[in-house]
A and B are shown apart, each in its own frame.
Chain A
Amino acid sequence: MTRFLLVLTLLLTLAVSAVAADNSLTVGSKRFTESYILAEIVKQVADQTGEAKAEHKKGLGNTGIVFAALKGGSIDVYPEYTGTISQELLKEKGAIDLPGMKAKLGGQGLDVGVPLGFNDTYALAMREDQAQKLGVKTMSDLAKHPELHFGLSPEFLKRADGWPGVASTYGMSAAPEGIDHGLAYEAIAQGQIDVMDIYSTDAKIEKYHLRVLEDDKKFFPAYDAVLLYRADLPTHLPKTWAALEGLKGKITAARMVQMNADVELRSQTFAQVAKGFIAHDLQGGAVAAPEKQQSFGQRLFGGDFWKLTGEHLWLVFGSLLLAVIVGVPLGVWAARAPVAAGPILTVVGLIQTIPSLALLIFLLTLFHAIGTKPAIAALFLYSLLPIVRNTYTGLTDIAPALRESAIALGLPAAARLRLIELPLASRAILAGIKTSAVINVGTATIAALIGAGGYGERIVSGLAVNDNAILLTGAIPAALLALVVQGAFDLLDRVVTPAGLRPR
């Protein structure tokens, strides 16, 4: 057991050294292509001033999570849209202009500015052929066809400026279904859904021959892209801020569609697209020759691979260590006190049934922060059940004759636990820790939704741009890591298990 803890500590120290930085600017992005690109541009522009080390927290779960992160100070700035700010964040009924927003946000220590130059409005779209056949041109026309199959992104379904508003303004009675935005284009192309929500700068509208329906009652407000930031940013990092202000009005809608297409249709990385934009549009250089496509292997091990590996290991083993420290004593307690056993096992069992995203968001509000802390807390809670249950079972399965022999010898309770009972239960306990560790490797991928990094970051961005190759560059290392962890524990089992208990 001591040797096992030693190995764990070593891994943790390695993982910790991979994190940390001081004078830094953290940029957030939401889980769709355009947000990734804009945040990457902000990050690279900031980096070029050399004033602060800029970091990009990629693909945070949804608007609520990013906004909470900004308020809590986990990120300093992120690209947002005016319509979202007024309708969703400030819950305004009517239209409100930029100075109005500034005034309202000021109370929360936030500010908004730097209109980037394009309007990315929400809209509903259908397949061109079907729209033609049904004669649907406007959203009022669409209201006459409640039989159509609506597949809307989960965020659009819930937002005040999304489906609820659309349905009441146009009197639509269809029953929409939730579908991830990255997957909706495939679904509509294959005829699984008939209507989807789109962003007007989406690159795939043309590719999939979709008709964007006219908002004839002018329901959707303007969604001008702006930067939403912490009010102290301009004074805290003045050079960086000056550079960011240079982005004002620099991105046209056409350019944004093109950049989205570079990622989604031409498989460039967010960083490459941002770099090309800065070199050409900001610094007036020649249009960079499209970079050579990286091979899958290069994409797998390239760039941030080791950073993500460090983050993933830290998430898995940081939470596991906590779970061992808390779970083993809980298991011992349950085995010792039959009265406590029922409640303890029930509670750790119930925790397991909480959906992971719900637990993450709950902990996010509890910690007032995104990132590693709430993610480790969630993984810790999920790790408890196998460890507590196996410790409990391992201890209660000890033959009564052995337990009595230890008592009759005249050993005090603490010594019996240490010298007899825990060693006899060690294989069961280790098996529980192993189960938790392997499950953790998988569950940790979802922590990317709250900016905790790890391989999940690639899986989330792969989903956002609907690019299976990116998804696999995250999923394959996660699967391999699970196998490595499993193998390492099998090895550890041989080292830790007392020789007399090993099968021969």
Chain B
Amino acid sequence: MISVENVAKSYKSQTALAPTTLQFDPSSTTVLIGPSGCGKSTLLRIMVGLVAPDSGSVSVEGAQVTAANIEAMRHRIGYVIQDGGLFPHLTAEGNVTLLAKFLKKPSGDIEKRVGELCEIVQLPREALGRFPSELSGGQRQRVGLMRALMLDPPALLLDEPLGALDPITRNELQGELKSIFARLGKTVVLVTHDMGEAAYLADRIVLMRAGKIVQQGTLADMIERPADPYVTEFIRAQRSPLPALPETAAP
């Protein structure tokens, strides 16, 4: 679905991302994980075209992304950031329908799609008329997800989507995200620094450090066959969710 080939990015002399090649298969969920500054967000932002790579290329559905087709490509990729990234001057519904209206989609279709999305992300319909500042953190995240899914794109990229939420809401949304991913069958790439979240949501975990991929695979792979002592160290550092993990992580 999406592939990155030898993409690299440096800021001045600082390497943000060493040359990296990755494939993201249709209907799979990949989680990019690692400490702050490991390059996981840079990789995601290169995929959606917010950061131009110094070298290498990104392809979506087999076609290489260029300056000429980038906007059309973005319509094929939903992008969600922390706290939703909602536009404060528009209502929830205004945010969700902004792009569809700009592209002059039939209003009947837009209305129908908004209804479906409300049901998918479990947002009460009356919340649609509210402004972002009038919504709870969890609701904002749901609206952000609706906005990303509005045009039914085949791919969904999420940059620490649950980072700003309290633990209870976070836990609740993790469960919902998992079922949404399973139900919609999209190519999902999610960035987090929480190994519990990664293990719970991912088909494949990509662990990164200092701009390089350290290991990719399932959590079980990483526990049983760590490619580097750092892998074990990173997993051990994330203690609290671990006792429950082996069952969920190893099907």
Give chain A's interface residues, CB within 8 Å of chain B. 401-402, 404-412, 415, 419-420, 423-424, 426, 498-501, 504
Interfacial residues of chain B within 54-101, with CB under 8 A of chain A in the complex: 71-75, 77, 79, 81-83, 85-91, 98-99
Contacts of B87 in A (CB 8 A): 402, 405-406, 420, 424
Q: Determine the chain A residues whose CB is within 8 A of the CB of B131 once the complex forms.
A: 499-500
Cα distance, A406 to B87, chains bound together (Å): 9
Return 28 A-B CB contacts under 8 Å, by A number.
Answer: A404-B81, A405-B86, A407-B50, A407-B74, A408-B48, A408-B49, A408-B50, A409-B79, A409-B98, A409-B147, A410-B71, A410-B72, A411-B98, A411-B102, A412-B71, A415-B102, A420-B87, A423-B89, A424-B87, A499-B89, A499-B131, A500-B89, A500-B90, A500-B91, A500-B131, A500-B132, A501-B88, A501-B89
Give every chain B residue within 8 A of A408 (Cβ-Cβ): 48-50, 74, 77, 79
**Cβ-closest chain A residue relative to B103:** A410
Main secondary structure of the interface of A (DSSP, over half): helix
Query: Within 8 Å of chain A (Cβ to Cβ): is B133?
Result: yes
Known: A402-B85, A500-B91. A419 touches B50 (CB 8 A): no
Complexed CA–CA distance, A407 and B75 (Å): 11
List 12 extra interface pairs beyond A405-B86, A501-B88, CB under 8 A.
Answer: A401-B83, A405-B87, A407-B49, A408-B48, A408-B74, A409-B79, A410-B74, A410-B75, A419-B98, A419-B102, A424-B87, A499-B131
Question: For residue A498, which residue of chain B has the nearest CB?
Answer: B89
User: In the assembled complex, which residues on chain B have CB atoms less than 8 Å from the CB atom of A409?
Assistant: 74, 79, 98-99, 147
CA distance A401 to B102 in the complex (A): 21
Give the distance to chain B from A493, nearest Cβ to Cβ, in Å.
14
Min CB–CB distance B158 → chain A (angstroms): 11
**Which has the most chain A C-beta neighbours within 10 Å: B74, B81, B89, B98?**
B89
User: Given the complex of chains A and B, what is the CA–CA distance between A424 and B88 in angstroms?
Assistant: 8
The reply to whether B98 and A401 form a contact with Cβ atoms under 8 Å apart is no
The reply to whether B81 and A410 contact each other, CB–CB distance below 8 Å, is: no
CA distance A501 to B85 in the complex (A): 15
B 35-59 to A, binary, CB cutoff 8 A, 1 in contact else 0: 0000000000000111000000000
* Residues of chain A contacted by B85 (CB below 8 angstroms): 401-402, 404-405
Query: In the assembly, what is the distance between CA of A411 and CA of B83, in Å?
Result: 20
Closest chain B residue to A413 by CB distance?
B71
Shortest distance between the CB of A220 and any CB in chain B (Å)? 70
A501 to B94 CA separation, bound complex (whole angstroms)? 14
> Is the pair B99, A410 in contact by a Cβ cutoff of 8 Å?
yes
Write out the residue numbers on chain B whose beta carbons fall within 8 Å of the beta carbon of A407. 49-50, 74
> Which A-chain residue is minimally distant from B73 (CB atoms)?
A410
> In the complex, A358 Cα to B83 Cα: how many Å?
54
- Give the docked Cα–Cα distance between A501 and B86 (Å): 12
* B89/A401 in contact, CB under 8 A: no
In the bound complex, residues from chain B placing their C-beta under 8 Å from that of A424 are 87-89
The interface residues of chain A lying within 8 Å CB-to-CB of B91 are 500
The winner among B74, B81, B87, B88 for most chain A CB atoms within 10 A is: B87
Chain B, residue nearest A409 (CB): B99
A440 to B83 CA separation, bound complex (whole angstroms):
43
- A404-B50 in contact given A411-B102, A419-B98, A424-B87 (Cβ < 8 Å): yes
Write out the residue numbers on chain B whose beta carbons fall within 8 Å of the beta carbon of A410.
Answer: 71-75, 99
Min CB distance A292 to B, Å, is 60
A5 shortest CB reach to chain B, Å: 19
Give A498 to B60 CA distance when docked, in angstroms: 37
With both beta carbons as reference points, the residue of chain B lying nearest to A401 in the complex is identified as B85
For A420, A423, A498, the residue with the greatest tally of chain B CB atoms inside 10 Å of its CB is A498
- In the complex, A41 Cα to B119 Cα: how many Å? 84
Cα-based distance from A184 to B49 in the complex (angstroms)? 72
Closest to A420 in B: B87
Q: Please indicate the chain A residues that have their CB under 8 angstroms from the CB of B81 in the complex.
A: 401, 404-405
Give the distance in Å from the alpha carbon of A409 to the alpha carbon of B78 in the complex: 7
Chain B contacts with A in 94-137, Cβ cutoff 8 A? 98-99, 102, 131-133
B-side contacts of A402, CB under 8 Å: 85, 87-88
**CA–CA, A404 and B79, complex, Å:** 10
Report Cα–Cα, A199/B31, bound state, in Å. Answer: 92
Q: In angstroms, how far is the closest chain B Cβ from the Cβ of A255?
A: 70
Residues of B within 8 A of A415 (CB): 102
Q: Which residue of B lies closest to A407 (CB)?
A: B50
**A404: B residues at CB distance < 8 A:** 50, 81, 85
A411 to B102: give the CA distance in the assembly, Å. 8
